[in-house]
Structure 1
Amino acid sequence: MTLAVVPLPRRVVARRRRAFTLLAFVQATLIFTITVVSVPLPAIGRELGLERAQLILVSAAYALSFSGLLLFGGRLADRYGGRRMLLIGLFVFAATSITAGYALSYPMLVGARFGQGVGAAVIAPALTAVLRGVFADPVSYHHAMAKWGGISVLGATSGVVLAGIATTWVSWRWMFAAPALVATLALLVAPRLVTGGGPAHRGQRPRLDLPAAVLATGGITMLSYGFVITDQHPWSSPQVTGPLVSGLALILAFVLVELRGSSPLLPLSFLANSRRVIALLAIGLAAAGSSIICLLLGLYLQQVRGWSTLHTSLAFVPYAVSLIIMGRIGRRPIERYGAPAVVATGLALSAAGFLHLSGLDPATTYLTGLLPGLVLVPAGVALAFAGSTVLAMADVRPRQAGLAGGLMNTFMEIGPTLGVALLMAVAAARSTHVGGADAAAATTSGYAWAFGAAGLAFALLAVVALATEQPEPAAEPARDEADPEYAWRARAAA
């Protein structure tokens, strides 16, 4: 039966809008929490008496548990329902955020950060599963995904900007008030506002596949940890090679288990779609680009130019404005030119911004040297995220929405970890090669080469995205006939 196009009642549209706003705030908060301690790390170290290695773990603990558990979180959402897992994750996230704010010691703070990551790994896939239930018809779901793409990177940028401004006047502990407040409010409001994302029918529930979950979690966590500590140890040191080799071995074991499993945690056929693979790579690269520009320009402005934390945060306001503007208008080019073209265009824009920043030197001016990059890079990242989210979720069945959401967020977390490690290695190698008495010039030259390498990576992926683009018939996401809005449309059409 072909459904007629019948306008939804205003109350349904209003409920959808409120639900999307709530879920978007939660998603932005999950990413905000990654970067929220980046600016006040020195203050945390002074208050708790921490060394550099301990500060690195304070910063990375959240992302380690977040990225490592996302695939398993996706399976939980597909098995037990997005709505249920969303509420459980919000409770864990709120409780651990409050604990982090009151942390009196290093173990307490690191434990709370790990706990936040566990809650986030449950929440993120559940959000996409719930969205699939809220926006049951293909057109509105497509529009929602286009908007969803830019929310995460906006959350990361907000963490950098707001943390720098807030820590000028208040304690770093207040940085955990925002995630605690958002999670608590969502926990109170979501049961009344979100109705989609129920559990699958008993006969359709996927197995938990615990052996694969353990291997994937261990592999991703070990790889991420290995990349994180390259900031402290050489790549050839046992401290780095040990976790990297162990992580690769666990990932290989995970692939072997998945090939033999009857209900794999990540069906390898899910990655057979070339567009989905390009979309996931674009998500990882865009997330890495956002992280490296915030990190390196923040270091450059404070260490080389001597700017204060407040002035450095304000310097990123145009970055956030560019993200917001492109995020709001990103849906229109997707509808007109298609998601693959928008992904390639976004990657090319970011490449242009990074290549402009590759001319960085100690005397670079803000208006002509930094501002163009601070506008072009986020504009391209927003477009790339919007188009990639649509492609990654295309043709995904409702019972695999959690898997798709977990996979997207995994690439979003691994991308910055791997990208920052590699680009910082480029920067360090260049700075060592330049050497000399002028430390500022050597450091800046390293940052410039890192930006250049990032620009080349974005340009290369843009070319690959265009080369692999092929016309495919548009396929509507599978409908869930148990969804009340689908049933309403069916009755209206009859």
Structure 2
Amino acid sequence: MGRQGGAAARVVLWVACAAQFMVVLDISVVNVALPSIQRALGFGAAGQQWVVNAYTLVFAGLLLLGGRLADLFGRKRVFVAGLAVFVAASLAGGLAGSPGLLVAARAGQGLGAAVLAPATLTILTTTFPEGAGRTRALATWTAVGVAGGTAGNLLSGVLTEYLSWRSTLLINVPIGLVAIALAVRFVARDGEGTRRQRIDVPGAVLATAGLAALAYGISQAGSAGWAAPSTVAGLAGGAAALGLFILVEARFAPTPLIPLRLFRIRAISGGNVVMLLAGACLNPLWYFLTLSMQHVLRYSPVQTGFAFLPHTVVAILVGARLTPRLMRRVDGRVLIATGALLAAAGFAWQSSLTPDSGYLAGILGPAVVFAIGGGLLTTPITAAVTSGVAPAEAGAASGLMNTARQVGGALGLAVLVTTAAPDNPAPEALASDYGRVFLAIAVLMALVAALAFLLPAHRDRPLGEN
């Protein structure tokens, strides 16, 4: 199996998946706890999005650096360092006593995740050669990520209702310490390679600042309007920082975070556009669906957590079991387009939620449809954007893919919050506000379906075929 023996490769796969589970868990683990966090620390309705976005923006902005660190300093070393930072920030967040401290701790978690996440994908792409074996590994990695997202919602509900919202962050500490011990024991040390090269810190700072400024500008548009000075300053500052980032990468960085020649590979350039738009749909889904369940249907935190279980079961069955088999017989572009259209139909159905909706028609039905769609499209996109890359640049490509997904999620959330803009707490009014959000997501997913054909045709070779 792959470049290592079968047993060793399976151990590497599951260690990488365990770390990915933690990273995705913490994207969603605060979702169900948001109302409790808002009451306990005094967040405003618009401010509570930063409990989510502080994590996702720092995560997205530093993923390019995290991916390059794995190339320069070794996957194992970076992997363990990312886990250590993640654990320390989780402890700080669980003990935070003010909105500012919690947001700062969430940013620290994003830093740890940015170092950790690309290393997990790089480990897989350098362990498993392209073909059916890698597709199965990526499908498992993707399914574990989906499980982490829903486990976060479920754990958040149980822990918030029976302990405290603080436990949603503190639970990472024992899990992270065990993960560090396992990584030290089982992840093989890689060669020295090209280490000791200079790190592109200016590029990392510019990327993070640019993304944060864009998200701030978009979030200000919802409360102050698109012509407000704060909105214009955020958008202009973000665009300027990202423009400087491209200039630094092209002209001045001795070891760019993202070698621009990677964009000459059609699968990478087109695939990351598709990944960014898919992230703008699928990542904010959990935020708005959580609020819909608690504010419109009046579910408790535990009920909300358990209501997310069908999303996980369906997505895992489709993504980990069905999709890898289909990829041997069906063009990946067709799978992406089909999955995106199914997801769009599910989101359109979700937009019809009302305070009188029952669970079957209001939550379960839409969940099955868009979970099937998401399960079909994610693995083919991931396979596309990690194909045709030399091992020495696998970390950069992995960081780019994760960046596209998280940037899409963070900016998508910021834009969609302005679409909802709830100012009436009545369940009927909130249902209408969140309905507009789900319709907007459906439109974006239809665009993903159309853009899927920017990618080159791709179908997996069977195992053992060269």
What TM-score comes out, normalization by structure 2 length? 0.89
Matched with 2:419 is 426
Q: Does 1:87 align with 2:80?
A: yes
Q: 1:152 to 1:209 in 2, by over 3 A?
A: same
From 223, 227, 230, the counterpart of 1:236 = 227
Is contact 1:134-1:196 (8 Å) kept? Answer: no
The offset of 1:50, in angstroms, is: 4.8
Matched with 1:482 is none
The one-letter amino acid of 2:216's match is: Y
From 259, 262, 269, the counterpart of 1:267 = 259
Matched with 2:6 is 13
Is contact 1:80-1:198 (8 Å) kept? Answer: no
Is contact 2:25-2:152 (8 Å) kept? Answer: yes
Matched with 1:319 is 311
CA distance in structure 1 between the aligned counterparts of 2:390 and 2:12, rounded to whole angstroms: 21
Query: What is the correspondence of 1:237-386 to structure 2 with a 5 Å cutoff?
Result: 237-261=228-252, 263-329=255-321, 330-386=323-379
Q: Does 1:409 align with 2:409?
A: no
Matched with 1:37 is 30
Q: 1:229 to 1:30 in 2, by over 3 A?
A: farther
Matched with 2:213 is 222
CA distance in structure 2 between the aligned counterparts of 1:322 and 1:244, rounded to whole angstroms: 38
Q: Does 1:444 align with 2:431?
A: yes
Is contact 2:118-2:399 (8 Å) kept? Answer: yes
Is contact 2:213-2:237 (8 Å) kept? Answer: yes
Is contact 1:282-1:388 (8 Å) kept? Answer: yes
Is contact 2:33-2:301 (8 Å) kept? Answer: no
The offset of 1:198, in angstroms, is: 3.8
From 163, 171, 182, the counterpart of 1:178 = 171
The offset of 1:452, in angstroms, is: 1.9
Is contact 1:28-1:154 (8 Å) kept? Answer: yes
CA distance in structure 2 between the aligned counterparts of 1:58 and 1:127, rounded to whole angstroms: 25
> Percent same amino acid at aligned positions?
36
Matched with 1:210 is 201
Q: In the comparison of the two structures, how many residue pairs are matched? A: 461
The one-letter amino acid of 2:231's match is: V
Is contact 1:67-1:221 (8 Å) kept? Answer: no
CA distance in structure 2 between the aligned counterparts of 1:348 and 1:70, rounded to whole angstroms: 29
Matched with 1:168 is 161
Please identify, of 132-141 and 173-182, the stretch whose mean Cα deviation from structure 2 is larger.
132-141
The offset of 1:402, in angstroms, is: 1.0
The offset of 1:120, in angstroms, is: 1.0
Q: Does 1:114 align with 2:101?
A: no
Please identify, of 260-269 and 182-191, the stretch whose mean Cα deviation from structure 2 is larger.
260-269
Q: CA RMSD in A?
A: 3.0
Q: 1:357 to 1:77 in 2, by over 3 A?
A: same
CA distance in structure 1 between the aligned counterparts of 2:9 and 2:436, rounded to whole angstroms: 46
Cα distance per residue 1:365-420 (max 9 Å; x no partner) = 33234322111112211221111110010011111111111111112211122222
The one-letter amino acid of 2:412's match is: G
The offset of 1:243, in angstroms, is: 2.0
Q: 1:351 to 1:363 in 2, by over 3 A?
A: same
Is contact 1:134-1:195 (8 Å) kept? Answer: no
| Secondary structure of 1:336 counterpart | coil
Q: 1:135 to 1:472 in 2, by over 3 A?
A: closer
| Secondary structure of 1:78 counterpart | helix
| Secondary structure of 2:327 counterpart | helix
Matched with 1:486 is none
- Structure 1: gaps (5+ residues): 1-6, 477-488, 490-494
Cα distance per residue 1:16-38 (max 9 Å; x no partner) = 22221121121121121122222
Query: What is the correspondence of 1:186-205 to structure 2 with a 5 Å cutoff?
Result: 186-195=179-188, 197-201=190-194
Matched with 1:75 is 68
The one-letter amino acid of 1:310's match is: V
